[in-house]
Amino acid sequence: MAGQAVADILEGESLHFKKLGDYRSIAGAANMASIQLMSNEACAFASSASSVTWDLDAVLQTINPIFTAGINHHLFHGFSYLSAPIALWPGFAAFSPYSGNIGYAESWAPRTLLWNHANEITSYIACMHLLLKYGKPQYDVAFFEQKSYVGAGCNSSWFADSGTVVPDNQYPSSQLINYYRIYEDLDDFLFVAASPATFAVPTKTKVVDVEVDVVLPRRTKNQIPILIDLWTGQMTPISVYTELSPGHIKLHISLEIYQATMITPVPLIVIPIHAINTTTPDIPVASVVFTSEPTNQEPILANSAPISLPPHAFDKSQQTKNSNPGH
């Protein structure tokens, strides 16, 4: 840990690391040393070259849980050169074929069909990178482990919502993991439907969809929960939640396996009307208009009701700048 704390940029590797605890050991050293950038050599899967997919079966299944461990920068492993001696289509790749067999890194290059969708996934990753590089993480408990090396596959114990230490955000599910960051006067809660221990593909740990109520802290009673679309950056007020106290709210989270979502309690001048429960699955929510001036229009549960939000970490111009393939 002392050695990691003096490095400029810390880096893990999804091919070599075994559990999320390996990434948390890197993030712990970085947090104590105030290192902002934590990198990961990502998505080199053993014996899976030329068969990797962008979706929740491979890439997102790997990187979304790793985001919750504190890593905020992914670099994809493996890029084919267009030409090289005796190289065949789609170009020279150092890790596939490997000793005559299928290798362990995808041939990320414009000459593969997978590249047609690179902008979509890299825009999502760029959005996540940007959001998770602002502010600082917030932890309830720190675990110190003496182990042989980073990547040994150790995981710290985790605790329930009872006992001497009660977490700030609470939920009765072992299939939901979260990452809590503070950015100025905002609290960002990233949730991923996954096991808190493993991330590797394939994993022996069974992961299921998540349907669970979550209790979140809020700083003032005029804060309402805002759902951040991690693919577009759009922020939308959540219309169904319960105010447990001035400092806590309860809302429902529904995620498919390995899906991620981010929720931020945001202070508003005019509080929109909200429901505490509903039998309608597609209840409308108030739309969001990005403006620096507060609106005098009465917020209602309708798609045409604009409200004002304070500035947030996400900037669409930054997404465009960072969404090129390979970033």
* pLDDT at site 86: 76
Q: Say what the pLDDT of residue 164 is.
A: 58
Kindly state the average pLDDT of the residues 222-234: 89
The pLDDT tens digits of the residues spanning 31-62 come to 888 888 899 988 888 777 777 777 656 788 88
Residue extents of the structural domains in the chain: 2-133, 163-309
If pLDDT is split at 50, 70 and 90, which confidence band does 217 have? very high
Report the pLDDT value the prediction gives residue 308, as an integer from 0 to 100: 40
Q: State the residue for tokens 């997404």.
A: 319
Task: Give the whole-angstrom CA distance, residue 55 versus residue 38.
Answer: 23
| Averaged pLDDT, 181-186 | 90
Model confidence at 187: pLDDT above 90? yes
In the CATH hierarchy, which fold is given to the domain comprising 163-309?
A: Immunoglobulin-like (2.60.40)
300, pLDDT greater than 70: no
* Chain centre to alpha carbon of residue 266: 19
Q: Examine the pLDDT at 160 and tell me if it is beyond 70.
A: no
The 10s digit of each residue's pLDDT in 107-127 is: 777 877 777 878 888 889 999
Least confident span in 139-143, 239-243, 271-275: 271-275
Measuring CA to CA, which residue among 260, 235, 263, 27 is closest to residue 125?
Answer: 260
7-21, 88-102, 170-184, 303-317: least confidently modelled range: 303-317
Q: In angstroms, rounded to a whole number, what is the distance separating the alpha carbons of residues 219 and 228?
A: 19
The structure tokens 């507060």 sit at 294
* Model confidence at 316: pLDDT above 60: no
Which residue in the block uniquely carries the two structure tokens 């899976």?
48
- 202 pLDDT tier (thresholds 50, 70, 90): low
Instruction: Please tell me the predicted confidence (pLDDT) of residue 227.
Output: 92
Distances (CA, A) of 251 to 73, 166, 207, 217, 321: 29, 18, 22, 11, 34
CB 190 within 8 A of CB 181: yes
Is the per-residue pLDDT at 171 higher than 80?
yes
